[in-house]
C-alpha cells in the first residue's frame, strides 16, 4: 500500500480535516499529515500548536503521522519517499485551484500523483476561514471543530 501526504495549513484543524484523515488512513498504508509552516502567512496558531492539535486528534490512527514542513510539498514528498498527495476538494473553485496545483506538482515531480477526495456531506461547506469568522464573532462552531480547538480559537480570536 502506498503512503500519502496530506498537506495543509490546518489553521484550525476542522472535523472535515479529521474526516479526510480517517478515510485516507483506511485507504493508504500511512498518511503523513504535513502542517505548512509558512512565516509569511498570518496564522492564528503556530505550526507547533497545529501539529499538537492534529496529533491529539489523530492518535487513534496508528498509520497517521503529523509533521510540520516548509517549502514545496513535492520536495517534502520526494525526500521522504512518498508518491501520493492527498487533497480534499469541496467545491468547483477548490477543484480549479487543486487541479492547477496538481499539474504544477506533476511537472515538478513526475513521480508524485495527486488523489482528490470529496468530503463527507456534513463537512462539504466547511473552511477554516469560515470557522475563524464564526468564532471570532462569538458564534458556536462546536459542530465543525473539536471542542478544545474551538476553545483555543475563541481565546485567541476574542482577545
Q: Which residues are catalytic?
A: 17, 41, 90, 128
> Are 13 and 44 contacting, i.e. CB atoms less than 8 angstroms apart?
no
CA–CA separation, 5 and 28 (whole Å): 10
Burial of 22 (0-12, 13-18, 19+ CB in 10 A): middle
Q: Which three three-digit cell numbers place residue 60?
A: 487513534
CA–CA separation, 44 and 67 (whole Å): 18
Place of cell 488512513: 25
CA–CA separation, 31 and 63 (whole Å): 6
Contacts of 125 (CB under 8 A, 6+ apart): 90
Amino acid at each position: 500500500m502506498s503512503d500519502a501526504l496530506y498537506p495543509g495549513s490546518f489553521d484550525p484543524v476542522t472535523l472535515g480535516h479529521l474526516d479526510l484523515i480517517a478515510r485516507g488512513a483506511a485507504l493508504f498504508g500511512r498518511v503523513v499529515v504535513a502542517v505548512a509552516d509558512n512565516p509569511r502567512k498570518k496564522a492564528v496558531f503556530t505550526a507547533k500548536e497545529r501539529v499538537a492539535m492534529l496529533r491529539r486528534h489523530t492518535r487513534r490512527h496508528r498509520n497517521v503521522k503529523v509533521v510540520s514542513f516548509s517549502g514545496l510539498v513535492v520536495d517534502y514528498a520526494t525526500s521522504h519517499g512518498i508518491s501520493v498527495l492527498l487533497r480534499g476538494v469541496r467545491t468547483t473553485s477548490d477543484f480549479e485551484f487543486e487541479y492547477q496545483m496538481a499539474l504544477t506538482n506533476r511537472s515538478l515531480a513526475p513521480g508524485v500523483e495527486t488523489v482528490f477526495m470529496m468530503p463527507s456531506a456534513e463537512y462539504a461547506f466547511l473552511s477554516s476561514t469560515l470557522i475563524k469568522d464564526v468564532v471570532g464573532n462569538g458564534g458556536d462552531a462546536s459542530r465543525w471543530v473539536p471542542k478544545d480547538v474551538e476553545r483555543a480559537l475563541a481565546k485567541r480570536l476574542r482577545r
